[in-house]
Structure 1
Amino acid sequence: MNPHIKNALLNGRLVLLFGAGASIGCINSLQKDPPLGWDLAKILAEEIGEEFSDEDLSDVYAAAKEVLGEQVHRVFEKHYKHCRPSNEFNDLLKYPFFRIYTLNIDDAFEKAAHQVSGLKFNVKNRDDNITEVDQFYQTLDYIKLNGDVNHPSKGFIFSSQEYAKGSSSEPLWYSELAKDYHKYTFIFIGTKLKESLFFHQIEKYKAKTKSNDLKSYILIPSLTGIQKKSLETSNIEHLEGKLSDFTDWLENEFEKPPTGIDIVSNTRPELNLESQEQTKHLSLFSGVTPVNRSSLSLIGDNVSKSKIRNFYKGFKPTWLDVLDNVPANLSNIENFYKDTLANNQTCELELHVLFGTAGCGKTTALKQLALRTADQGIRNVYFIEEYKDNFQELIVELDHRHNEPYYIFIERIGDVAPQIAEIIKSAKSTKAIFISSENPKIWTTRVKEHLGEYLTSSLDISHISSDDADLILNKLEKFGNWTRLSKMSAKNRKIELIRKSKRQLLIGLIEATSGEGYNQIIQKDYKAITCESEKALLLLAGLATTQRVPANEATLTRALAYLNLSPNVHQLASQMDGIVTYINGSITTRHRVYIERLFNLYVPQKELLKIIDSYIQAFSVYQFPIVKNISRNEASIYKHLVNAKSLKRILKNDKDSVLSIYEEYEKTFENEGLFLLQYGLALRSFEENQQAFEKLRIAHDAFPDSPHIEHALAQQRIILACNESDETVAMAHFSEAETVLNRLNSANVSAFDRYPIITLSEGHVKVMENLGYVKEAKILAKQYHDRISKNKNLDSNYRLTQTVANLTKFYLTGKWPDKAQLDLGN
C-alpha cells in the first residue's frame, strides 16, 4: 500500500467500497462461498430451466424475476443469508472506518460487525435517510447500494431495467456516494467497477459541479492494460491484490490498530484525550477545549502565509492568535484578571460576565483570560464555543474528575443560562467557576431572569481607553495592515483609532487600517469574488456565522451540488484566503457583524433566496426530526434557516420570498414538526391568520405532545378570536386556548422562553375589548396584573415586566400603550 492510504485512515478520510470479490472467504448456509456474478447467473438460469450460455447477470436476473417473481428472493436467501464472515472481515473491523459502501447483498459483514463489542453499527439501504458522519468515529455506517438479502421488500439492483430505474430516481445514498467520492480517499475492493449506476452518479455529479476526481484506488488481483488506463482517467490507481492483502498490510503497518479516539486525537487535538476512560463520555466534550499551551499548540489552525493575521482582517481570534499574542491585552481585561482571576482568588460556584455589543472583542477577551488563568498551572480551565444541550451532564462529569475548583469559560452565556441556574440551585457542591460574556440586550431580555441573582461580578468592555489605543497600534504594526497608519504621526494614529473605534472596536480596526468605511470594504470584498462557487461558499458559510457556529463541509458540499457549483469545499476555501477559513471539515467566515452587513446591503435578495433554498435542501436528506439526527452546530443552522423571524429578516420582510421557502418544502417536511410550526408562524406574521391556523392545527395533529406547537396554536386561536365579530365563535376559540394556556402555565413551560400567562392575559383582555366589553376587559386586566405580579421572577423577567406595565395602562385608561409590542406572548 502507500502513505497516502495510511494518512487517510489516520485522519478519518478513508472510505471502502466492496464488490463481490470482497466476500471471498465467507461461507453461506450451504457451506459454500457466496456465489459471484457469473456463478449467480448460472444458478438463476438453472432455477428457471434455461441453458446458461455466459449471458450477463443482469439479463439472467431479469428473466428469472419474470419467471419466478418474488420466489427469486428464496434463491438469494439460500445463497446469501446467514453467512459466516471471513477472517478478513473480522480483521477489517479492528480499524476505524466511518462509512463502507457495498454492492453486495449478503449479510456476512453484518454478522462480523455485530460481534464487535462497543461498535455502533448501522446498515443502510440505498433509499434510507442520510446520516452524519460520527465526529468521534465510534459509528460505522454500512451502505448496501444494490439491495439487502434481509430486506427483499426494498428491492435489488441487478438488471438493466433496475439500473435505469435507479438512475432516474437517484437513490439518496448513491448521490451521497458521488459526493463522498469527491471528498474522501476511496479503496474499491473486489470489483472492476463495471457499475453503470455508480458511474452515472459520479459523472452526473462532475458535470454539475465541474469537480475533479480525487486520488482513489482499486484493489483487485488483475486488470488489463486498457482497463487500467480507463480507470486512470478517473484518477483511480490499480493495486494488485485481494482484501486479505489489504488486511495483511494494515497488520504490518500498525503494531496496534488505531482507534476512533486516535483519529479524533489527530484531527481534534483540542479535546486533549489523555486516557481511554475519558472516551466513555466523549460526546460531552464536543466543543469543549481544555486550555493549556501544550495542547492548544497542536490545534491545526490554518494560518495564512501572509504575515497579516486574519484576526486583523475581521476574523474571530484562533487559539494560535492568542498563543502568539496577536490581540492586544487591553487595560480593562488586564484589571479584571488581576482583580478576579490572578492567584486563584475565585471560589467555586462564582459567575462572572463580560458585557459588550457585537464586535467589541468579547471572545478575544475570554480566550486571553482563559489562557492566562491556565498559565497559573493550579486549576484546570475549559473553554466552550458551541451550544451544548447536555451542559448539565458535562458539569457532572467534570465535577467527578476534579477534586479542586475548575474554570468554565463560555463564549455566550445566553445559550446555557437555564442550565447554569439549575446547576447553581440544585448542585451546591459543584466545583465550577463560570466566566462568560453576553450582549447587554440579550442579558436583559433573556438571561437576567435566570442568572441575575447569581452574578458575582461583571464588566462592560464595549469601549477602549486611550492607553488601549497604544497597545492596539503596537500589535497592528506587527500583525496587521500598517501601510496607511505608517504615514501618520504617532499622535494622529492614536486619534484615528480612537475616533474610528468609538462605535465598535472591530469596525474601528478595519477602517483605521484601510482608510475606507466598513461598508465600502465589505462591498469591495464581495465584488472582488468573481467565481460563483466561491461566492456561494461565502454566503452559505455566512449563514452559519450569523448563528456563531462553523459550517460543516458535508452539508456545504451537498448545498453547492444542488446549486450546480463546485462542491470541493476544501479547494474553494484554499482560494479564498482572508475571506473564509477551513479547519478539519469546518468552515468559518469573518465576524458576524461583517456577514450581516454583507447580507443586508450587498447581496441581492434573489441570490440569498437561492442560497437559503439549497442549504435547506441539503438538510432534507436526514431523518426527521432533523435536529435530533445532526450535530448541535448543524442543528443551530437548520433551525435558523427555517425560522420565520430569521427568514423575514434576511429576506427583508418580503412575503412572497419567505412563503416560497415554506411552500416549496411543505411536502418534503410534512413530518417535520419544527418546519410546520415555523410555517404557521410565518403566515401569522404576514397576517394570513386563517391559513396560519390551519398549518398550526396540522402541526398539532402530527405532534400533539409538543408544548411549542400547543402554545402557538392556542395563540393563533386568540388572534382569530380578536378578529371575530361573532361572539359565540370568538369565545369558542378563546375557551379552547384558555384551557391549553392554563395547563402550559401550570407546567411551567416558560423554561422554553414561551410565556403562556402573557399570551393568556393580553389575549383575554383584547378578546373582550374586541367584543365591546371594555369595562369587563379593564377588570380582567387588573386581575391578571395582580396574578402576574406575584411571580417571583417578575423583576428579572423583561417580558413579564412589560406585560404588567401594559395591563396597568389598560386598566387605568382602557387603552394599550402606543409603543407596546402586543404580540400575545411571542
Structure 2
Amino acid sequence: MNVADEDRGYLLASMRAGEVVLVLGAGASATSTNRGGEAVKVGLALAKKIAERAGLNYGGEKLTDVLSATSRILSKKQLQDILTHEYVGVKPSPELERLFQYTWKRLYTWNIDDALLNLTGKSAQRRRFYNGLIDKAAEPEENGQLHIVYLHGDATKPEHSFILTETEYSSWLKSDKHFWYQRAAQDYFTFCPVFIGSTLDEPILSAELERAGRELNSTAGRAFLITPDVLSPIKRASLEARGIVHLQGALEEFSAWLAKNLPGGRSPKDVLATNNSFSDQVLDSLTRDDIQTAHFLRPVDALGLHQRIARISPGDKARLGREFLRGFPPSWLVAASDIPVKLEATTALLEQLKRAVENNERLFIVTGQAGSGKTTAVMMALLQYVEKNKEVALFDLSSDVRSIKRAFNLLRKISNKKIIIYIGDLFLFGDGFREDIDGLVGRDITVVSTARSGEWRDRLSRQFPGLEPFLFQRFVRKDFDPLIDRLIEYVPAPRFRQLSRPEQRKKLASSDSQLLIALREATESSNFSDIITNEFEKLPDDDTRLLLMIVGIATIARVGMSKEAAYEAYANISKSRPFDEALDALSGIVSVADNRRFYARHELYFRHILENVISFSELSLVIRSILKTYLKYEIPIVRSVNRLESTLFRFLLNHDFIYEHAKQHRELEHGRNIYSEFEVEFQLDGHYWLQYGLYLAEIGDLHSAIDMLRRSIQAYPDNPYVFHALASVQLQLARERPNYDAVTKSLIDEAVRSLKLRDAKSGIEVDEYPIVTLANGHIAALIKHGDLGAAKAYGAEYFDRLQQLDRQVNSPAIQHTKDKVFRFVTLGQWGEKHHSGRNRSGMGFG
C-alpha cells in the first residue's frame, strides 16, 4: 500500500495520538469466514444468494435492488435465516483481529455480522458495543475504552431490524432519529477517519456530512479511504476535493502497513505517553485503570515550555502575543513567555502562593474580576515557583476529569514530590469538590485555582469556611510602561504608537476598567462597547454572526464548545456559508484553546453583544440549535456527557439566564417557547423540567410552574432542589390566591412540610437555604390572608432557626431574613416589596 510522505506523516501522527476513527465497510469482512467455514458473503455475493433463494435469475444487480425485488417472494423469516447463516458465528480474519492491537478513538461498522463480537486475540482496549438503530449516542471515553457501533443493525439481534433496502435507508433518513449517524458525522470532522472496504456511497452518512457542512476544499482535516479499487481520475479528484485520500489496498494490506510502521500495536499507555508527556518510569507503574485517570492529568514542565518558546518562529510568537493581548485565554506556553506582563499584584500573589504550599494548605484560591488578569498571573506565579523549587511537581487537571478523587490518589502514586495541582476555574467543579479536597488531609498536595469575586462571595466561600482567598486587584500605575511595551510589540495600533509615552500612559489611566477592556480601549481609541459592536456588525454575513453567537454562548458558560458540537449546531441554523469559511471569517475572534474547544475572544466581548446588539429571537434560535445537539444522548443528559458538556447544557436551560434576556427584550412568551419545543425530547430529564418550571414561575404562570416541577420530581425524584423549588412556588401561589380557602391552606401545608424536611436534612454548605424560603414565603402568605397570629408564632419559630444557622455560616440571605423576621415579630413590620411574577424567595435552584 503506497502512501505519500505527507499523508503517511499525518496518519501516523493521528494513530500515535489515538485520534483515528475506524469505519468498516463490507470489504473489511470479506476475508472473515461464516459458520460454514466459507468466506462471508458481502455485496454482490449476498445479492446472488438471496436472488437464487427466491428463484430469480441473478444478473449482477446490486443488493438493494435484489432485496426490493424479493421482498414479496421471501418471507421475513426466510431472509432472516440467510442473514443468520452468513452473519452469526463469524470467525474474524487474522488481519481484522490485528486491528485491535491499536488504540482507536471509535469504530463504526456498516456490517451486521458478529465478527467483532467474536474477537479472541490481544486487544489494546476494552470494547463497548452499540446498536445504532436503538441506542442513543455517547461521547468518546478515555482511550482504554473503545465504542463499537453497528450503524445498520446487529445480526445477533434481528428484532431491532436492519438497514438493508432503499426503503429502510429512506425511512431512517426521514426520521432524523439515527443518533449514531449524527455522532459519526461529528467524529468525521473532529478526528481522523479511516474508511476500509467502502465506496463511501452510504446515503445516511452522506446526508449527515452534507448537513454538517462538509464542502469542497474543506479544511476539516484529512480522511482516508482504503479500497482495492482502481479509481477513475474524476472519482479521485472528487475525493481529494473533500479532503479524502484514497489508498489502494485491502484490509490485509492496511494491517500489514500498520505492523510495519507501528510494530507491536499501539496501547492506551503509548497514547498517554504521546499526549501527556509522562516519564517512562511513571508509565511503567500505571495500571490499566490508572491510565484512564492519567488521561486528565498533564505534568507542567517549566523548562520544557521555555525551550518551546525559544524554538517558535517570530511570526508564531507575534500571533500568540496578539491573540493573548486581545483577550484569548492564556496557555501555559504564553505564561512561560515574556508576552504577559508581570503585574505589580503578581509579586504579592507569588508570596502568598509560597506560604500556602509550604504550609501544606489543601486549597489556594485567587479571586478577581473577569478580565482582571488573575488566571494569567496564577499560571505565571506557578511556573516561577516550580522553577525555583525543583522538589515540587506541577500538574494541570483537566476540567472534564471523571473522578477528582481518583486523580488525587493517582498523583500520590506517581510522584514522591510535593505536588501542586492547578485547576483553571473552581466554578466548574461544583459542590462535591469540598469532599475531594477533604481527602487531601495529611498529603503534600495543594490545589491552586481561580474564582470570580462575586461567585466566591455568593456561592463558593460557604463550601470552604475559614479560607481567605487572595484578591487579585486591577493593574496599577507601575504596570503602565511594561503594558505599553507589550502593546507596541504585539498589537497593530498605529494611532496608539504615534502617541508620546505620557499620552499612552494617559490612555491606560483613562480606562477605569478591567485590564482586558483597558488594553483594547487604549489601542483603538474608542469605547470598548463601540469597538465590539462595530466588529460584530462588520462580519461578512448572518451565518458568520450565528457561529460567533454559538461559540459566544458557550464562552459565557465558561466551558467553550467542542468542534463537533459547533459543527452540528451551526448546521442546524446556517443558510449558505460553509462552516470552515465562517470560522475563517472569525479568525482573531474565535480560537481553539488548549482543551481543544472553541472560545470567543473573551466572555466580556460576547456579553456586550448578547446584552446590547442581538435580538432575543436570534439568541433563542442559537440556544435551541445547541440544545438539539444533545438530543442524541441518553437521559438524563448531565449523566451522559462530560463535565464541560453538562455545564453547557445546564447553562443553556438556566431559567435566570433566559428570563433576564427575555425580560430585557420584552419577549417573555418567546422565552417560554425555548422550553416548550423540547417537551417530548427531554421529558425524562429532571433538570429540564426544573428549569422550565422555574422560568414559568418567573413570568408569573404559577399553576403551570407547579405542574412542571412535579414532572421534574417524577423524572428525577432524588434532586432536593426540585422539592425546594416546588415548595417556594406553592407558597407564592398561596399568597396570590384571593381566598384563604382549603386549596390555599393545602398549598401552604404541603410547602411548609417539605421545606421543614429539607431544612432538617440540608447541611450548612448549600447554595439555597430552605429556612430562608420558608420564613419569607410562609409568613408572607399568612400576612396576605390576615392570619397575623399564626404569622407571628411561626415568625418566632423561624427566627430561632435563622439565628442558629447565622452562627454557623456567613450568608447575606440568612442575615437579611433574620433581621426581617425579627422586625415583624417585635414591631409588626414586614415591609416586603412585592414584585409580581418573580421568585421572591430569591432562589436560584441550579
TM over 0.5: yes
2:369 counterpart of 1:357: yes
| Higher mean C-alpha displacement, 722-731 vs 268-277 | 268-277
Label 1:245 to 1:689 Cα distance change in 2 as closer, same or farther (>3 A): same
2:503 counterpart of 1:495: no
C-alpha contact (below 8 Å) 1:553/1:569 kept by paired residues: no
Secondary structure of the structure 1 residue equivalent to 2:829? coil
What is the deviation of 1:657? 2.2
2:799 counterpart of 1:798: no
Residue 511 of structure 1 is aligned with which of 509, 512, 521? Answer: 521
Residues 283-334 of structure 1, C-alpha deviation per residue, up to 9 Å, x if partnerless?
5456654332245466999957648521211222222221112111122221
Match of residue 291 from structure 1: 300
Equivalent-residue separation in structure 2 for 1:722 and 1:273 (angstroms): 67
Match of residue 59 from structure 1: 65
C-alpha contact (below 8 Å) 2:659/2:698 kept by paired residues: no
2:779 counterpart of 1:773: no
**1:125 is matched by which residue type in structure 2?**
G
**Equivalent residues in 2 for 1:269-348, closer than 5 Å:** 274-278=282-286, 280-282=289-291, 284=293, 288-296=297-305, 303=316, 306=319, 309-338=322-351, 340-341=353-354, 346-348=358-360
2:481 counterpart of 1:470: yes
Equivalent-residue separation in structure 1 for 2:245 and 2:471 (angstroms): 60
Label 1:771 to 1:361 Cα distance change in 2 as closer, same or farther (>3 A): same
Residue 536 of structure 2 is aligned with which of 526, 531, 534? Answer: 526
Match of residue 180 from structure 2: 173
Match of residue 106 from structure 2: 99
Residue 258 of structure 2 is aligned with which of 225, 250, 266? Answer: 250
Label 1:425 to 1:102 Cα distance change in 2 as closer, same or farther (>3 A): closer
What is the deviation of 1:514? 1.4
Residue 609 of structure 1 is aligned with which of 603, 611, 620? Answer: 620
Residues 137-178 of structure 1, C-alpha deviation per residue, up to 9 Å, x if partnerless?
333222222221022122222222222223322433334444
C-alpha contact (below 8 Å) 1:42/1:52 kept by paired residues: yes
Residues 340-396 of structure 1, C-alpha deviation per residue, up to 9 Å, x if partnerless?
518x87211254433322221111111111111111222122345637673344334
Secondary structure of the structure 2 residue equivalent to 1:355? strand
**2:372 is matched by which residue type in structure 1?**
C
2:552 counterpart of 1:542: yes
Equivalent-residue separation in structure 1 for 2:208 and 2:296 (angstroms): 35
2:154 counterpart of 1:148: yes
> What root-mean-square deviation, in Å, do the aligned CA atoms of Structure 1 and Structure 2 show?
3.3
Label 1:12 to 1:126 Cα distance change in 2 as closer, same or farther (>3 A): farther
Secondary structure of the structure 2 residue equivalent to 1:581? strand
2:609 counterpart of 1:591: no
Which stretches in structure 2 are left out of the alignment for 5+ residues? none
Equivalent-residue separation in structure 2 for 1:721 and 1:693 (angstroms): 12
| Higher mean C-alpha displacement, 588-597 vs 29-38 | 29-38
Match of residue 5 from structure 1: 11
Equivalent-residue separation in structure 1 for 2:730 and 2:121 (angstroms): 52
2:84 counterpart of 1:77: yes
Residue 732 of structure 2 is aligned with which of 704, 712, 719? Answer: 719
Label 1:380 to 1:792 Cα distance change in 2 as closer, same or farther (>3 A): farther
**1:686 is matched by which residue type in structure 2?**
I
Match of residue 681 from structure 1: 694
Equivalent-residue separation in structure 2 for 1:687 and 1:199 (angstroms): 47
Equivalent-residue separation in structure 2 for 1:567 and 1:637 (angstroms): 25
Match of residue 187 from structure 1: 194
Which stretches in structure 1 are left out of the alignment for 5+ residues? none
| Higher mean C-alpha displacement, 681-690 vs 146-155 | 146-155
Match of residue 647 from structure 1: 658
What is the deviation of 1:589? 1.8
C-alpha contact (below 8 Å) 1:742/1:756 kept by paired residues: yes
What is the deviation of 1:608? 1.8
Secondary structure of the structure 2 residue equivalent to 1:430? coil
Residue 379 of structure 2 is aligned with which of 367, 391, 397? Answer: 367
What is the deviation of 1:86? 1.0
What is the deviation of 1:414? 4.5
Label 1:624 to 1:270 Cα distance change in 2 as closer, same or farther (>3 A): farther
Residue 133 of structure 1 is aligned with which of 140, 148, 152? Answer: 140
| Higher mean C-alpha displacement, 277-286 vs 684-693 | 277-286
Match of residue 241 from structure 1: 249
C-alpha contact (below 8 Å) 1:167/1:197 kept by paired residues: yes
Equivalent-residue separation in structure 2 for 1:541 and 1:271 (angstroms): 36
Label 1:338 to 1:443 Cα distance change in 2 as closer, same or farther (>3 A): closer
**1:394 is matched by which residue type in structure 2?**
A
Match of residue 630 from structure 1: 641
C-alpha contact (below 8 Å) 1:210/1:565 kept by paired residues: no
C-alpha contact (below 8 Å) 1:182/1:212 kept by paired residues: no
| Higher mean C-alpha displacement, 790-799 vs 86-95 | 790-799
**1:810 is matched by which residue type in structure 2?**
F
C-alpha contact (below 8 Å) 2:373/2:516 kept by paired residues: yes
Secondary structure of the structure 1 residue equivalent to 2:717? coil
Secondary structure of the structure 2 residue equivalent to 1:275? helix
| Higher mean C-alpha displacement, 515-524 vs 228-237 | 228-237
What is the deviation of 1:764? 2.2
C-alpha contact (below 8 Å) 1:608/1:651 kept by paired residues: no
Equivalent-residue separation in structure 1 for 2:221 and 2:427 (angstroms): 43
Secondary structure of the structure 2 residue equivalent to 1:35? coil
**2:513 is matched by which residue type in structure 1?**
R
Equivalent-residue separation in structure 2 for 1:271 and 1:586 (angstroms): 27
C-alpha contact (below 8 Å) 2:24/2:111 kept by paired residues: yes
Equivalent-residue separation in structure 2 for 1:243 and 1:16 (angstroms): 12
What is the deviation of 1:505? 1.9
Label 1:54 to 1:352 Cα distance change in 2 as closer, same or farther (>3 A): closer
TM-score by length of 2: 0.89
Equivalent-residue separation in structure 2 for 1:557 and 1:483 (angstroms): 37
Residue 745 of structure 2 is aligned with which of 731, 734, 740? Answer: 731
Residues 421-476 of structure 1, C-alpha deviation per residue, up to 9 Å, x if partnerless?
44565653132234433333322221232323133xx4433233222223322333
Equivalent-residue separation in structure 1 for 2:212 and 2:378 (angstroms): 44
| Higher mean C-alpha displacement, 42-51 vs 351-360 | 42-51
Equivalent-residue separation in structure 2 for 1:328 and 1:525 (angstroms): 26
What is the deviation of 1:234? 5.8
Secondary structure of the structure 2 residue equivalent to 1:438? strand
Equivalent-residue separation in structure 1 for 2:428 and 2:203 (angstroms): 49
Residues 202-240 of structure 1, C-alpha deviation per residue, up to 9 Å, x if partnerless?
456559999688654432223363784585476444433
TM-score by length of 1: 0.91
C-alpha contact (below 8 Å) 1:558/1:567 kept by paired residues: no
C-alpha contact (below 8 Å) 2:40/2:87 kept by paired residues: yes
What is the deviation of 1:179? 4.5
C-alpha contact (below 8 Å) 2:335/2:379 kept by paired residues: yes
**2:609 is matched by which residue type in structure 1?**
L
Secondary structure of the structure 1 residue equivalent to 2:358? coil
Secondary structure of the structure 2 residue equivalent to 1:27? coil
Secondary structure of the structure 2 residue equivalent to 1:17? strand
Q: How many equivalent pairs are there?
A: 821
Match of residue 19 from structure 1: 25
Secondary structure of the structure 2 residue equivalent to 1:354? strand
C-alpha contact (below 8 Å) 2:562/2:597 kept by paired residues: yes
**2:721 is matched by which residue type in structure 1?**
H
Secondary structure of the structure 1 residue equivalent to 2:598? strand
2:586 counterpart of 1:576: yes
Equivalent-residue separation in structure 2 for 1:648 and 1:270 (angstroms): 47
Secondary structure of the structure 1 residue equivalent to 2:510? helix
